[in-house]
Structure 1
Amino acid sequence: MGGSNTDLQEITRERDLYGKLLDLGAADEVEQLLQGALSLMVECAGARRGYIELDEPSRSGAAPRFWVAHGFSQSDIQSIRASSSSGVIAEAVATGATIVTASALEDPRFRDRGSVRKNSIEAVLCAPIGTTPTLGVLYLQDRDRPGRFPEEVRLLAERFARHLAVLADRLLIRRRVRDEEDATRPLRERLRADRIVGRSPALAAVLREVVAAAPSHVNVLLTGPSGTGKTQIARVIHENSPRARGPFVEVSCAALPETLFENEMFGAVKGGHSSGPVEGKVTAARGGTLFLDEIGELHLNNQAKLLQVLQSKEYFPLGSAKPLTADVRVIAATNVDLKAAVERKAFREDLYYRLDVLTIRVPALAERREDLADLAAHFCKRVCAENGFPHLVLSPGARMAIEAAEWPGNVRQLCNKIEAAAARAAGEGVPQIERRHIFPEADTSTSSAPEERASTLQEAVHRFQGDMLRKTLEATGWNVIETASRLDIARSTIYNMMKVHGIPRPRTG
């Protein structure tokens, strides 16, 4: 009877494990899959620490392309990866067999390895992921109990690794296809641009200009709507320039009071200012880049003072009779039409031409809709890390809602929406961000009156889209082809919008 109960518990445990493994199959990013897989395996194996790395056989790099860790410090991870060519991981990859040892510190195969001695590594289980060629490894270290990992854990880890290889291979293929469609990829190989998210042709056009601008010392003018990420582009230009080792100093011209311009920009010497010596922004940016945001908001009187610095490359701190050299590169940004401002006499023409040496237009989010999903996923990951939220992902419905919506506030608006949505999802204790978290105003379960739900332009546009789609579908007798033609959008978009706005097709018969 006792044996039957044990067998039943084992069957139940394996059933639950495979159920969770199947749930991992819903992951649409490699990192998401590996994070879930490692958490599950560490729990099932009773391990204190775990590590998974994954790479593509065709890629030969110093570090694996994808990896996740549990219970290891950053230095521990570096040690594991540094020893992958000669330690336990290397043995598992070379032999294609699972390595199990009660104590790597005493095992003759590994005890002479420097990393093993340094970290006093005891119980280890390392199973290869995939066969001929190996995609990566599942590495477990240190048990909750003394001794080696038991045989049933080894068998479990091997079965788990086989299933994980299938799921990972699918996502690697998808990632490879996406990389091939990435218009920015050849430009990223020439730039340090990790902070720039997206792969659209519109973004590639911007990076192409950045490649041209970065190596020089000429002034750059960034134009484009508010919220498009001009500050990020300015930082990328700086980080890829000869001045990359110098400071990047940002000045909001809109926030500079007219009477404090000289004090803020040029500083003051002792005795030249009531509050003592002040280091100005030009001095702070010496050897680096001075980024003048919202340059179109600078008062006319102060435009003349800035022009003098750009022309002479010299400036005088308040109270000083001795000029200082302005050793800075200037990048300016504006969301207003400076040419029109020049015609209105609201902006100096001579300053405009000083700034407009090399102009880069940063596109609105509407011009790079292909980047919406990547941006949303990036902001989701970042906000979770910054706020200590559990790992959250965007549900398919949430992604479709994001892609169907309009974003007049551009990248900044999308970022704010995702931050708020992550906070709502984390507060509910759910693993996914749903459409209702992003657009709570559209959740009819919590609000009934349309005028109550539409409090912003974004919300009004979202509701208008749904109303217009429903009316057009009804007018065409729910003919999707005709509806797509009338609205001048693709059929696939119609289906996506029907899901996003919760519009079911009426049953016939």
Structure 2
Amino acid sequence: MSLNGVRSNFPIVAPADPTTVPPAPVRVLLIDDDKLVSDFIRKIFSRFAPETLVEAFTDSREGLDRAKAGDFDVVVTDLMMPQVTGLDIMRELHEAKPKLPVILMTGYGNPDVAMEAGKLGVHEFLNKPFTPEQLIDAVESAAEIHRLAAEPVALESGPKAGRALVGNSEVMKNLSVQIGKVAASTVPVLIHGPTGSGKELVARALYQYSDRASRPFLLVSCTAVSEAHLDTELFGQEAGEAGSRGRAGRFEQAQGGTIFLDEIADMPPLIQAKMVRVLQDQHIRRAGGNEPVPVDVRVIASTAADLEKAVREGRFREDLFFRLRGVKIEVPPLSARMDDIPLLVEDFIARHAGRIGFPKTTAAPDALAALQDMEWPGNVRQLENMVCELILLARGLTINRSHVETARGLSAPEPLGEGRFASVVAQALRRAQSGEIPAALPVLMDLVEKEIYGQAYALTKGNRSRMSRLLGVSRPTVLDKIAQHGLGSANKE
């Protein structure tokens, strides 16, 4: 690894998954009858999200027809247009493509229009003028929701399965049977399992095999958000007297469909109390409002935490816990299904090798045996990241045991704790003292920065805007650091 022109072989932990294959470019359909505005928005994407594919229309009817016929992740449309308005577009897409997120842009503060759009499932209302960050954030959030709802999940692997719950082990067979039995029900489901085990895939399979598969599927993360933000996100905001625009929350937007509450153990106490009422009475109240709004939404929640312990310690409401676990599904760690590793590796190669650039990659039996001998604290997600790295190391040839040993050396499993970091610093100082490297500080700073950005990339799945907020730096800085440290496909930007 070359750092600031200096060769470094420190045994420092590599970024959590620097070889993670980034998602396919987001496909945006832009509809605005004002060509100046349309061109300005396209320039925003060109500068701040150059990987985004934007197709623009100034004729709203043509834009609507293209939205119906094309394959897009997000529609961004103006509200007030001749011929076909933004609400007209929403109404037609609500029927034709209910899973396709729509972002409405408007300079008019009409709360009735906002509520109507909310009932039709608008993903976001952008008030003109908006900042580039607001636009990019809204589009990235909408694209992630579309991916979750649209990407198929199969209960067995196959050439047309998309993402699959892969495995022939007894625990995976039992998991698939349980999903099949529970999917058609409307009762809440609590999915429990360690980080990286595939809880999101289970939630999506439950949705896609249910009678609600044609309706929306919305994910809301309960982690690292304020109580007020999560309140508005879930339940919406009533129009205020000071001119603040009302908005529908995710429960209203998911009407008739499914909402997936990720890491529900982190949900703030006030929101827990509101969730009890939602599950009990099947209605919500918007923030700042008093009128109940009926909702018909199936709730699926996930957690890696011990909720029973959280209940005993008073950190999680007992009544919410029992209402959520109408059915509880346990997702096994990879250590409980090591026999599935060959099938998982085959599946990951099939999905990633072509995108990485080596479509003919295969894995030798000795490589599979070596992978089965390893420990996997990060579970299936860690294995997937390792396979991506092995594809790069093999460069189109057969992955063998030596590739696995090399990859293991590049990705030390232990965390960068205080003692380990002290050891790395000591090595750097010794090497600088002996003249092996010019100076210790630049090398160490680069290593630490790469670790920080690598873990942020892994945590946010490469979402640049979320990385910017998480790290407290600008989005251009995030783009520069992704390119500098070789995370994902930064070079194509």
TM-score normalised by length of structure 2 = 0.49
Larger relative contact order (Cα-Cα within 8 Å, sequence gap ≥ 6): 2
Greater Rg, structure 1 or structure 2? 1
TM-score between both structures, scaled by the size of structure 1: 0.47
